[in-house]
């Protein structure tokens, strides 16, 4: 595996793992924690990304509504037919398609800048997410012998592309920033994006055993 880079959200590392072994929500959280962490200045894109992720977990813990894209994860977190690699990739997709999009918008709002000013930070976060995807495949994907009898899982996992998810997230964030003067339209567009991300998450959680 490539040398591990570090995410910059110590708050995620500090968050206690409150889920039993095999819990689908905990699968993604564990892999993400294992990447290693270091301090990051408040207001950076990485810090905003962590805030969005943690707010969804906190909402679920408190019984408050969660983003639509994460509801399938909470609903199927104990499903015996869903493999750990599926939970991890579903969590990663929600992290990109929802959290990263809104993290870009949050950062632009705070700095009063356009997304173009964040391209460097966005690329760095994208590289870290790529390493996270690599770790998911290395640690959670069944070995070749099992894959021969679990071909639907191979097909399912191979249909998802991190690069396309990142590209879509960047496009959505740019549109949302352009809609900042039209709150109703921006809210509707964000809700549609959340719902679309939820469909992908639900697909990734298709039982494969």
| Cβ atoms of 89 and 81 closer than 8 Å | no
Report yes or no on 186 lying in a domain: yes
Q: Tell me: the pLDDT tens digits for 35-79?
A: 765 556 777 899 899 899 999 999 998 999 999 999 999 999 999
Q: Tell me: the pLDDT tens digits for 77-110?
A: 999 999 999 999 999 999 999 999 999 999 999 9
Report yes or no on 87 lying in a domain: yes
The residues near 74 (Cβ < 8 Å, ≥ 6 apart) are 25, 60, 66
* From 15-19, 83-87, 98-102, 199-203, the region with the lowest mean pLDDT: 15-19
Report yes or no on 1 lying in a domain: no
Q: In total, how many domains does the chain have?
A: 1
Report yes or no on 31 lying in a domain: yes
| Cβ atoms of 103 and 51 closer than 8 Å | yes
Report yes or no on 21 lying in a domain: yes
Please state, in angstroms and rounded to a whole number, the distance separating the CA atoms of residues 50 and 29: 12
Please state, in angstroms and rounded to a whole number, the distance separating the CA atoms of residues 17 and 12: 10
Report yes or no on 81 lying in a domain: yes
- Structural domain including 119 reads 10-204
Report yes or no on 138 lying in a domain: yes
Report yes or no on 5 lying in a domain: no
* From 47-56, 159-168, 174-183, the region with the lowest mean pLDDT: 47-56
Q: Give the three-state DSSP class for 76.
A: coil
Mean pLDDT to the nearest integer, 15-28: 80
């Amino acid at each position: 595996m490539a040398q591990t880079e570090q995410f910059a959200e110590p708050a995620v590392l500090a968050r206690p793992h409150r889920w039993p072994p095999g819990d689908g929500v905990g699968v993604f959280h564990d892999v993400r924690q294992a990447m290693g962490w270091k301090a990051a200045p408040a207001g950076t894109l990485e810090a905003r990304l962590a805030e969005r992720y943690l707010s969804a977990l906190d909402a679920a813990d408190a019984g408050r509504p969660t983003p639509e894209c994460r509801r399938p994860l909470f609903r199927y977190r104990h499903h015996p037919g869903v493999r750990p690699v599926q939970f991890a990739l579903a969590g990663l997709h929600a992290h990109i398609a929802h959290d990263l999009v809104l993290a870009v918008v949050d950062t632009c709002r705070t700095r009063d800048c356009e997304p173009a000013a964040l391209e460097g930070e966005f690329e760095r976060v994208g590289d870290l997410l790529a390493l996270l995807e690599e770790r998911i495949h290395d640690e959670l994907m069944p070995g070749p012998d099992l894959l021969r009898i679990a071909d639907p899982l191979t097909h399912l996992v191979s249909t998802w592309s991190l690069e396309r998810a990142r590209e879509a997230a960047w496009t959505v964030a740019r549109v949302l920033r352009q809609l900042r003067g039209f709150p109703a339209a921006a809210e509707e567009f964000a809700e549609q994006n959340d719902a679309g991300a939820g469909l992908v998450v639900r697909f990734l959680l298709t039982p494969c055993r």
